Structure 1
């Protein structure tokens, strides 16, 4: 599965100290799982959580789901041990909280290299502080290991001394800045969580807004949110059918030596075909994940 085609519609946080939750996650319809050693784990359970998560990584059984470990920050007593242990267990990525500068990622990468992390283990960066947002470009250029920005909107609202609103006006500037940087430097980017996990309508509205802005998917706090995120961020059957028609029509046009096709009364150019091909690749990847279970 190529990086560009990899679906990240639904990225679910799972508490690292709960073995039963981790076991259950192997059967959930999530595109990716974040095994959390940070916010979801109390101080007295940090070492237990680390051992459980490393054990789960070694055991495997997650199918084609992307597996990410969120570690504690290096400014805590657990951060360095978390990074070394997670890196040695080779997850798909290590998620670094409260990234404020390129130096933060350089320090994490150094520890990962010392622990023998393979090149395939990437770094994801939590964008959840004002200084992190302001330094988004510097962070994006910090290391080739960086693959994804994850918006930490709860922490961001707290740091901004703002209030959560349905319209999300309090974080729009930050979301937009990080989206621009992510797209400019070829990174994936995930929207922050929606806290009212039992509010299906609110969750759908939040996902639809994130999709319309350009996010690749949404981070989630409860399995009840998975179906809606997958629907809103995934390609619909109608979109897949249209993409196929666009690609076919454009190929036929090019075979005639022409540059522009018409599908359903609309012009189809190179840029439309690129979008269509990406959508079809994602749909194929989703189908493979579904088959793998």
Structure 2
């Protein structure tokens, strides 16, 4: 039989975990969905039944659950870190750099909150609690601000800059299918990161392990994406500057968004590209050390993020010597 249909591109770098209720196997789950659906203490629903996650046994690849009759829901707060590893091809404008890049995405659980159907918080569990990280080496397209432009935007927007830059990332990512053609929202994702040289960057990346060149087209179509984002936000008929989920608000988190601040950033991006011919560079297998983000250390035993200088993991108490 043809094995290609059995390969899950999104989880091909990780083993699947088996979800078990006693001796009964409910199914399998990859690490990406495990973080979101079956973190430790989480409420998991399967075939109309409700379960509580008791434990995640990483060595055995098992998620242990038990039946639970609660109507509550649990919501994970997941932190994403994006590390740019290598430039592939870049377009250098005077104020910004647009590039296709090799990168690594690391997602880890910060906390888990349980709420009643009325929205009342029942309990919050801090930390990863042994829930494994989801690591994805992949490729994507990056837009990095030059230092003078970022300084100018921060001076103009003050404390609103970071939220506005994140709004730019979300809006541009949401519009990507307008230039790539129809694609599943799970096929690509996005985020913001700070490079080791201090530059702020937004990144669109493939959700497939090692990348499938899906988001490379964003590099050549970035002027069009930015222009469309400006029209979308400027034309949105929501009443307040905070916007709505159709323009700048994040439907998953309550950020202090601002339509006017986001438009300032987008207009600056548009002006930095308008009528200019960038310097194109094919980097091949080389890399630009100035754009390599610093690697974060994680516990080998439980996957939790390690604090710089700590001697033991804060989650499982494993010694941090020689951990990466």
What's the TM-score bracket when you normalise by the shorter of the two chains?
A: under 0.3
Q: Which of the two has greater helix per residue?
A: 1
More strand per residue: 2
Q: TM-score, length-normalised on structure 1?
A: 0.24
TM-score normalised by structure 2 residue count: 0.22
State which structure, 1 or 2, has the greater radius of gyration over its C-alpha atoms: 2
